[in-house]
Chains A and B, each alone.
Chain A
Amino acid sequence: MDAVAHAPAVEHGPSLHQRLAARGIDAVTLLVIPAAIFTLLLFVYPFAFGFVLSFEPKAGGDWLANYRRFFSDPFLYKTIANTLWLAIPVTLVNLLLAVPIAFRVRLMRRQRLLTTILVLPITLGTVLVAEGLLNYLGPQGWFNRTLLTIGLISQPLKLVHNYWGVFASLVITGFPFTFLLTLSYVTGIDPALEQAAATLGANAWQRFRHVYLPLLMPGFAITFCLSFVQAFSVFPSAVLLGEPAGVTRVISIAAATAAFEEYDYSMASAIAMIMGFVQLAIVVVVLASRGLFYRGPASGAKG
């Protein structure tokens, strides 16, 4: 009591240093500066530059001329549908393949080996996979030759230079990414929840439907978005394996044509902006739907 009574009266508040520290700003905060500069120079500036450029048409006219041209020319606006028609089914197929495999792999001991095998296609890159598929799925490729030999077909199937060639390539390059994300979400769920459901009488399907699925939906939404954005920006396989003048004329091809064949950077920027907007719209819709599901921690107990 004495110590309190005789304590000197505080005449000044906490220093600026202390007040900043209380808000979480201290010397460590400076460590974000390199990342901030990097983002500013390599993302924010080019993005803003392209955004402004898209409103300054090369051929003159008013500021919306590029956008008006895009949406009045079927050869251009159809690329949106073409790209979506590839990206959405591919993403869904990848997710639907990844979920059951992730559920099996979750129980395996040697996950690291499998992970390495799966990461390989990502590191090889889309061009190598496209070249490989071109040979494998082509009219004289092993796939068709095998089917012809065992008599399942009498004519080689046309599997490249069309929609299915690009589809196959996107599944192969996109699957590992989708799978690894899915696996991390699946293994993040406390196995005791499944055991509890089992002791309460839930069979395997009921455990998936009533326990895993609701807890995984938010993770699946994120996985869908990231995989979708990857598939939406398809370019090499659409050119190499697809029909770049027809069904697989995707939006990135339209942008490349504008930029490097017509030298119309303003138009290319406008297409890039439209591409970005479409991706953003889909991602926003998917992420907003997460609100319909439980999004808290996926374990029963407090930490």
Chain B
Amino acid sequence: MTIALSQFDEVRLDRVSRDFGALNALRDVSLTIRRGEFIALLGPSGCGKSTTLNCIAGLLPVTGGAIWLDKNRVDTLRPEERGFGMVFQNYALFPHLNVRQNIGFGLKMRGRPKAEIDRKVDEALDLVRLRGQENKLPGQLSGGQQQRVAIARAIVIEPPLVLMDEPLSNLDAKLRLEMRAEIRRIHNELGATTIYVTHDQDEALSLADRIVVLRDGVVRQVGAPKELYEAPAHFDVADFMGFRNKLKGQVVAIEGDRTILDVEGARISGVARERVSVGSTAYAAIRSDDLEVGEAGPNAIAATVDTIEYRGREFVGTAHSAGGLDFVFRSHVPVELGSRIHLRTEDERILVFAEPVQGRQ
């Protein structure tokens, strides 16, 4: 492989801000990306993840802070001067150019000799496995093939940084899984430093070396996938990481590393991830996989079954408590709709968070 990516050590975002009128789309986002890393920007829509990417690409000017590529400041450069490869959500392939011309566009704009363009485009075609399709127009390709062209077009210019803006969101579920593996393979082969924007935590967990969780234009947590999955630092991060059961209660006691909550009369004991004090309102967050049907006792709460779905290996159900809390739980045995059950889990499976501050922080 002679697609050789430009050498550098790190890309650094230094308190990058972006205002849209009165709205702060991004506030003081600081992040250092080392060469070869695969970073996922994860968050719900409107959290500023695409804005961050567009600021790095130069498609949106930053209104505060700076972006550095090693010792060079790049946020003042025009997008064409930065040389970062970008893969767009809707691919943005040039509809009037065929696959070969699309991929070779960046090299042609740089005035490279034709022989070199042909050779590099051939390599890129091999890398994304599109040999034989090079004379087709984008409109004649399937969604997955268009995505491959978009990736090839972005990496053939050998950029220091590849930016991907929800590249899989327009694909169907099966193709999304295939392309996810494909993106990981290409990353492994090239070692391209990649920033990948997504709202899908599965994509972020499976692809990224590090995940940056954004919310309301603020970085909430940065960490390895395992770290975020097992130890989310905040309630909203937990919400995003699949903690679908959120039990609101009062802190009644703190005993060592266990925090005990009163939730509708039941005693729930878990591990505090944020500072909470006795008497304050707090949330116990439990992953739906960890909440199981069990006996009455510690860490068990009574609920009425609303729905139950067969999922092959197990059943996934929803239920509600007398106080109006909603639960998602799993069960190895079918349970009757409308029946009264007890849902429970282990202490270490319960994370306790302080009540989130309302509004933008």
Contact = CB atoms under 8 A, between A and B. Distances in A.
Interface of A: 190, 192-193, 195-203, 206, 210-211, 214-215, 293-294, 296-302
Interface in B41-96: 57-59, 78-80, 82-86, 88, 90-96
A297 B95 contact: yes
Contacts, number: 101
Interface residues of B, number: 34
A199 B195 CA distance: 15
Contacts of B3: none
Given A196-B88, A199-B79, A211-B94, A296 B106 contact: no
Nearest first, the 4 closest Cβ-Cβ pairs linking A and B are A294-B96, A200-B106, A192-B92, A196-B92
A232 B78 CA distance: 44
Given A300-B95, A302-B143, 5 more contacts: A195-B57, A195-B86, A210-B94, A293-B96, A296-B137
A199 B59 contact: yes
A195 B59 contact: yes
14 contacts: A198-B58, A199-B59, A199-B163, A200-B105, A202-B106, A203-B78, A203-B109, A211-B94, A215-B95, A296-B137, A298-B95, A299-B90, A300-B95, A302-B143
Nearest to A299: B95
A200 B79 CA distance: 8
Contacts of A215: 95-96
Contact of B110 (A201, A299, A302): A201
B105 A210 contact: yes
B139 interface: yes
Contacts of B93: 196, 300-301
Contact of A296 (B91, B95, B108): B95
Given A195-B79, A201-B110, A214-B96, A300 B157 contact: no
B232 interface: no
B139 A302 contact: yes
A215 B94 CA distance: 9
B106 A195 contact: no
A198 B80 contact: yes
B317 interface: no
Most B CB atoms within 10 A — which of A193, A198, A203, A301?
Answer: A301
B148 interface: no
Contacts of B84: 199
B138 interface: yes
B92 A198 contact: no
A201 B92 contact: no
A201 B78 CA distance: 9
A296 B139 contact: yes
Contacts of B90: 190, 192, 299-301
Interface in B128-159: 137-139, 143, 146, 153-154, 157
Contacts of A210: 94, 105, 108-109
Contacts of A298: 95
Interface string B111-131: 000000000000000000000
Contacts of A299: 90, 95
Contacts of B82: 199
B139 A200 contact: no
A302 to B, nearest CB: 7
B5 to A, nearest CB: 15
B170 interface: yes
A198 B88 contact: no
Contacts of A198: 58-59, 78-80
A202 B143 contact: no
Contact of A300 (B80, B108, B138): B138
Interface in B164-182: 170
Contacts of B95: 193, 215, 294, 296-300
A204 to B, nearest CB: 8
B194 to A, nearest CB: 14
Nearest to A298: B95
Contacts of A214: 96
Contacts of A190: 90, 92
A195 to B, nearest CB: 5
A300 B137 contact: no
Contacts of B57: 195, 199
Contacts of A193: 92, 94-95
Contacts of B91: 300-301
A291 to B, nearest CB: 13
